[in-house]
A and B are shown apart, each in its own frame.
Chain A
Amino acid sequence: MPTINISLKDLNNLVGKKISEKDLPDLLAYAKAELSGIEGDDVSVQFNDTNLPYLWCVEGLAILFKGVLGKEKGIPDIKIEKGDYKIIADRSVRSVRPFISAFVAKGGKIDEFFLKQVIQLQEKFCENFGRRREKVAIGVYPSRKISFPVYYKAVPPKSVRFVPLEFTKEMTLAEILEEHPKGKEFAWILENTKKYPLLSDSNKEILSFPPIINSHTMGKLDLEDNELFFEATGTDAEGVNLAANIFAHVLSMRGFSIHSVKISYVGKNVITPDICVEKHKLDTDKVSSLLGIELKDSEIKKLLEMARFNFKSGNVEIPCFRNDIMHSVDVIEDIGIMYGFGNVEPLPLTAYTIGGTFDLQKKVDKLRDIAVGLEYQEILSPILTSREVLVERMNLKRALDLVEIDNPMSAGFSVLRSWLLPGLMDVLMHNKHVDFPQKIFEQGLVSVRRNDTITDEERIAGISSHVGVSFTKARQAVDAILKACDVVAVYQDMEHSSFISGRVAQVVINDKPVGFVGEIHPAVLTSWGLDMPAAGFELNLSELFKIIK
């Protein structure tokens, strides 16, 4: 979620009203944002909505706040002057990075504060909305150095050389991806293409290698510049247009005049920024049915204008810096927000429903009670664990039934547990100096893979550890649990390398195995660093209840 830093004084100037520190949280709520820090004039804001990038700058917040505070209403005015600039987009970019938008901004004042703000919006936009520059990447240049038309094409990686920003030597595009920090960071975007995008002017001067890096000579802004060339390239036409529209508004609010650029694609010409408003038909009945409040059309209009929409003859007009409206519900939410959630009277639910839980949950809870009655302390362990815990430390040779994570955070959290006893062994290991006897149990889910099927099983397992533990005592516990389920098991000799041979039994009900019980093998105890004997059991309750049925 994007976080930005703004100046409160700057915000006040743009809004034209003094906003105090105290008012900020409530105002930011309209932007689905929170105040995450304030230090003097420096305010840090965090946004929850990732689909409204126009708000990720002080100018965007000012647009919204002016609506909320009644300083302005409806879609903000912006004037785009017809410019005499052209970008020629070559056929070669189609399969690489097909879309570009651009404009030229003139006559504003560029200072350090301004530069910082522009770079912040550029970064937040490209990182979050632009999906780390893949979908949209933005470049800004001093336009006095550029001779139009500008050419946008895709070229072989080693065919051109230029000096990238913050470097002093000429490099090929391939070298930039390998050596430049930005190249390394964003090389993944161009992983599957043979040619790389390039912007150059009519003097064959290279402007930039989008979406990676600008040229040091052509793409570095200085404080004396007062004319900017803006471009956004990407894989999504709407995305690059949105970038141009938002930046055009930002720069216009900072006193620049905005001049359009003609983009000449093969077979069609486009003028950007394209500030046409989109219209959305709104059925006003839906407003009351979703919000539960009755609003007259005039009230709806007023609220929409606060949110910087226009509302004309049943149509909502959407400003060109928003493209988050998919459905009427998106517009209606904005009406609700402007109405104020605090002004919406809560209404109790009236439908009569009977609460309950599912059968398995009821049953396992009853067996937890039996285990507690047998003086076992209940344990809750993580489900994410490691092969070492489940297999190696339990003296097992191999396990084919594990659900493994493809992208684990660490080896310690790389598989789902396939049985419960290893978690209980971990408890014993951590409590060697705690009073004995130690009797512990866990009831919970394990996940077992059999070929192409993964099954969750509810299980219960218990361990007791003290001098004189025995198979008999562990079996008594199993007997007691099964007795509570009104079944009697047959205990069959089995081999299980976690247990002492000849002291482990398979628990069988109606010829089906449902678990095992036995004395823990000394090799297992040793691998957990234990010097106290232990005996334990584990039952598959999902299977058990299936059989009982």
Chain B
Amino acid sequence: MTDIKKLINTLHPLERKVLPVLNSYKTLPEIVSATGLKEVEVMRALQWLENKKIVKISTELKEVVSLDKNGQKYAKNGLPERLFVNALKKRELSISRLEKLTKLSKDELNSCLGILRKKAMVLIIKNKELKVKLTDEGLKRVKKDFLEEKFLKKSFPLDIKSLEPEEQLALQNLKKRKNIVRIEMQKLKHVKLLSKGKDILAQGLGDDKIVDVLKPELLRSGEWRNKNFRRYDVSINVPKVWPGKKQTYRLFLDDVRRKFQALGFVEMAGPLVESEFWNMDALYMPQFHSARDIHDALYVKEPKRAKLDEALVKRVKASHENGFNTDSRGWNYEFDVARTHRLVLRSQGTACSARMLASDNLSIPGKYFAIARCFRKDVVDATHNADFYQVEGIVVEENLNLRHLFGLLKTFAKEFAGAEEIKLVPGYFPFTEPSVELFAKHPEMGWIELGGAGIFRPELVRPLTGKKLSVIAWGIGIDRIAMFKLGINDIRHLFSHDLEFLRNQKVVSCRQ
């Protein structure tokens, strides 16, 4: 296919309507009236044609004259002086009579008189009453259009430069009168056919063979075989659409969930509103622990009291007070049973682990994880959220030791931070002994604190399970990695309500 033929096939229906008239018409208003299209449609078509180097559009600044309010009225109904002479005919009439016949205003009547007298067309006779009559000159001139009338009959807007001397004169006269003409600077678009355009018109547009939309009828009839499909400009921008998409942080947590399942972990869940029992006491956190006071945990107004397994409460109470049957001396204080029933917003995901340990569904061996929504009484800022996710869990077996714990943490460092190198530092948690903090060398972020872990104290495990089990407990600080991967530096943006941000978040990125 020749280039010209290809080009012809790209032409849009609008372009096809505009192009043929360009041989005869050059200016925008002309083209609009010749094609019968709307001005915006013509402009769009011309723009496309120009992009394809078929036409050249040039813009000229021109002084143009157009009709004002009275000018439009007079063009339609006739100039006042014409109405005046038409009413007068060959008679001699008084001004008041003329006023009735013409329905002109006083002002208009006066200006008519002035104009007609200047042209020596009327004579004023002063008698008892003022009367008017046409002169001979007047009688001659009424047979022809006045210069001004001719002028009003032209199509506006008009290029002032294109006016004949007589028209210039008429314009000068009309300009002196009220609201008849308006003179403005206007941009006038000129369109010039380029050689490609001429070639196209020489070849013919082949409108009967071109198809814009492939319709079912064309397929059914097989007619499509005889058609050319309009070629599109596939390189131009198209309007944006936004897909339905999962939230960026949840997508990340979905990956975390899948990863744990792949590692053989089963997901646990628990209620958002916990008793102090499950949230803290069952975890062997003493009731005087600083994380439990009203400055750190969020307590619930109503109801006042949680329903608990009181036999279990009794065992946990004993564990706090004297170590239960674990050879421990316990925390050695008086355990408040009323307080353990108090309701609190879950402040740590470990509450889910406590519930799992006490559950009949606990499998041994078993690996468990939770992605738990937790709440703390924190001042919310770029690094603290009052409402956040915690990822934590347990591994339960008959005989686990510190080496297994370290082995697990090494796996986590590799799986969640891509880290080959780890550092294990003694840590402190009220519910584990030994306790350790995990640092991992992330390939891009460098050394990060990835989590805390330990082996649950016997004072915790025995009252909940009734068995001598070893339970590894761990928690991973997933938010820092999430923020890094999602490219955000304010923790609150994990829960962003910024639609533009969410729409633009990548689901596939180089930061894996």
A contact set with B: CB distance below 8 Å: 29-30, 32, 48-51, 128, 131, 135, 238, 289-293, 326-330, 332-333, 336-337, 341-342, 344-349, 351-358, 360-361, 365, 368, 371-384, 403-409, 413, 416, 426-427, 430-431, 434-435, 438-440, 445, 447, 449, 451-454, 456
B494 adjacent to A336 (CB under 8 Å):
no
B contact set with A: CB distance below 8 Å: 240, 242-247, 249-250, 254, 257, 260-269, 271-273, 288, 290, 294, 298-303, 323, 326-332, 343, 345, 363, 365-367, 373, 375, 377-380, 385-387, 395, 397, 399-404, 406-411, 423-428, 433-437, 455, 457-459, 494-495, 497-500, 502-503
Interfacial chain B residues near A347, Cβ < 8 Å: 401, 403-404, 406-407
Nearest B-chain residue to A34, judged by Cβ: B425
Interfacial chain A residues near B411, Cβ < 8 Å: 348
A-B contact pairs, 21 of them (CB 8 A): A292-B401, A326-B323, A327-B327, A329-B458, A341-B424, A341-B426, A344-B403, A344-B406, A348-B411, A353-B265, A353-B266, A355-B261, A357-B261, A404-B301, A405-B298, A406-B300, A434-B500, A439-B244, A454-B271, A454-B303, A454-B343
**A109–B495 CA distance with the chains assembled, in angstroms:** 58
Interfacial chain A residues near B497, Cβ < 8 Å: 379, 381, 426-427, 430-431
A326 adjacent to B459 (CB under 8 Å):
yes
Contacts A292-B402, A355-B262: A405 and B301 contacting too (C-beta < 8 A)? Answer: yes
Of the candidates B380, B399, B497, the one having the most CB atoms from chain A within 10 angstroms of its own CB is: B497
Nearest B-chain residue to A441, judged by Cβ: B244
Contacts A372-B244, A382-B495, A406-B299: A327 and B458 contacting too (C-beta < 8 A)? Answer: yes
A131 adjacent to B288 (CB under 8 Å):
yes
Q: How near does chain B come to A411, taking the closest CB pair, in angstroms?
A: 13
Q: How near does chain B come to A44, taking the closest CB pair, in angstroms?
A: 18
**A413–B378 CA distance with the chains assembled, in angstroms:** 11
**A211–B467 CA distance with the chains assembled, in angstroms:** 44
Q: How near does chain A come to B475, taking the closest CB pair, in angstroms?
A: 14
A353 adjacent to B264 (CB under 8 Å):
yes
- Given A407-B294, A434-B499, 8 additional A-B pairs, CB 8 A: A292-B401, A292-B402, A329-B433, A329-B457, A378-B250, A383-B387, A413-B386, A431-B498
A380 adjacent to B249 (CB under 8 Å):
yes
Interfacial chain A residues near B249, Cβ < 8 Å: 380
Interfacial chain B residues near A327, Cβ < 8 Å: 323, 326-329, 433, 457-459
**A356–B507 CA distance with the chains assembled, in angstroms:** 24
Interfacial chain B residues near A431, Cβ < 8 Å: 497-500
> Which one, A135, A374, A380, A416, contacts B494 given CB within 8 A?
A380
Interfacial chain B residues near A454, Cβ < 8 Å: 271, 273, 300, 303, 343
Of the candidates A131, A357, A405, the one having the most CB atoms from chain B within 10 angstroms of its own CB is: A357
**A86–B411 CA distance with the chains assembled, in angstroms:** 61
Nearest B-chain residue to A238, judged by Cβ: B332
Of the candidates B262, B300, B409, B494, the one having the most CB atoms from chain A within 10 angstroms of its own CB is: B300
Interfacial chain B residues near A376, Cβ < 8 Å: 244
Nearest B-chain residue to A357, judged by Cβ: B267
> Which one, B330, B385, B499, B500, contacts A326 given CB within 8 A?
B330
**A439–B244 CA distance with the chains assembled, in angstroms:** 8
**A282–B246 CA distance with the chains assembled, in angstroms:** 55
Q: How near does chain A come to B115, taking the closest CB pair, in angstroms?
A: 56
A435 adjacent to B247 (CB under 8 Å):
no
B244 adjacent to A373 (CB under 8 Å):
yes
Q: How near does chain A come to B2, taking the closest CB pair, in angstroms?
A: 42
Instruction: Count A-B contacts at CB 8 Å.
Output: 249
A368 adjacent to B303 (CB under 8 Å):
no
Interfacial chain B residues near A434, Cβ < 8 Å: 499-500, 503
B404 adjacent to A349 (CB under 8 Å):
yes
Interfacial chain A residues near B257, Cβ < 8 Å: 357, 361
A352 adjacent to B264 (CB under 8 Å):
yes
Contacts A345-B403, A348-B407, A456-B272: A377 and B299 contacting too (C-beta < 8 A)? Answer: no
Q: How near does chain A come to B305, taking the closest CB pair, in angstroms?
A: 8
B401 adjacent to A291 (CB under 8 Å):
yes
Nearest A-chain residue to B245, judged by Cβ: A377
Of the candidates B271, B272, B411, the one having the most CB atoms from chain A within 10 angstroms of its own CB is: B272
Q: How near does chain B come to A155, taking the closest CB pair, in angstroms?
A: 27
Interfacial chain A residues near B434, Cβ < 8 Å: 290-291, 329, 332-333, 336-337
**A135–B289 CA distance with the chains assembled, in angstroms:** 12
> Which one, B250, B261, B299, B380, contacts A356 given CB within 8 A?
B261
**A373–B373 CA distance with the chains assembled, in angstroms:** 26
**A381–B435 CA distance with the chains assembled, in angstroms:** 34
B455 adjacent to A290 (CB under 8 Å):
yes
**A128–B289 CA distance with the chains assembled, in angstroms:** 10
> Which one, A48, A292, A403, contacts B273 given CB within 8 A?
A403
Interfacial chain B residues near A342, Cβ < 8 Å: 423-424
Q: Which 4 A-B pairs have the closest CB atoms?
A: A292-B401, A355-B261, A292-B403, A351-B365
Contacts A327-B323, A349-B395, A358-B267: A409 and B379 contacting too (C-beta < 8 A)? Answer: yes
> Which one, B242, B246, B437, B503, contacts A368 given CB within 8 A?
B246
Contacts A346-B410, A375-B243: A405 and B250 contacting too (C-beta < 8 A)? Answer: no
A404 adjacent to B244 (CB under 8 Å):
no
Interfacial chain A residues near B299, Cβ < 8 Å: 405-407
Contacts A405-B298, A409-B379, A413-B387: A377 and B502 contacting too (C-beta < 8 A)? Answer: yes
Nearest B-chain residue to A429, judged by Cβ: B497
Nearest A-chain residue to B257, judged by Cβ: A357
Q: How near does chain B come to A274, taking the closest CB pair, in angstroms?
A: 17
Contacts A349-B408, A403-B273: A341 and B436 contacting too (C-beta < 8 A)? Answer: yes
A346 adjacent to B403 (CB under 8 Å):
yes
**A365–B251 CA distance with the chains assembled, in angstroms:** 11
B427 adjacent to A48 (CB under 8 Å):
yes
Of the candidates A329, A372, A373, A427, the one having the most CB atoms from chain B within 10 angstroms of its own CB is: A329
Q: How near does chain A come to B128, taking the closest CB pair, in angstroms?
A: 72
> Which one, B269, B407, B455, B503, contacts A349 given CB within 8 A?
B407
Nearest B-chain residue to A347, judged by Cβ: B403
B264 adjacent to A382 (CB under 8 Å):
no
Interfacial chain B residues near A337, Cβ < 8 Å: 426, 434
Interfacial chain A residues near B380, Cβ < 8 Å: 409, 413
Contacts A293-B403, A333-B433, A376-B244: A427 and B267 contacting too (C-beta < 8 A)? Answer: no
Q: How near does chain B come to A202, taking the closest CB pair, in angstroms?
A: 36
Nearest B-chain residue to A384, judged by Cβ: B387
Nearest B-chain residue to A361, judged by Cβ: B267
Contacts A346-B409, A449-B303: A379 and B403 contacting too (C-beta < 8 A)? Answer: no
Nearest A-chain residue to B239, judged by Cβ: A435
A371 adjacent to B250 (CB under 8 Å):
no
**A336–B407 CA distance with the chains assembled, in angstroms:** 16
Interfacial chain A residues near B327, Cβ < 8 Å: 327-328
Nearest A-chain residue to B434, judged by Cβ: A333
A409 adjacent to B401 (CB under 8 Å):
no
Interfacial chain A residues near B500, Cβ < 8 Å: 431, 434
**A405–B380 CA distance with the chains assembled, in angstroms:** 16
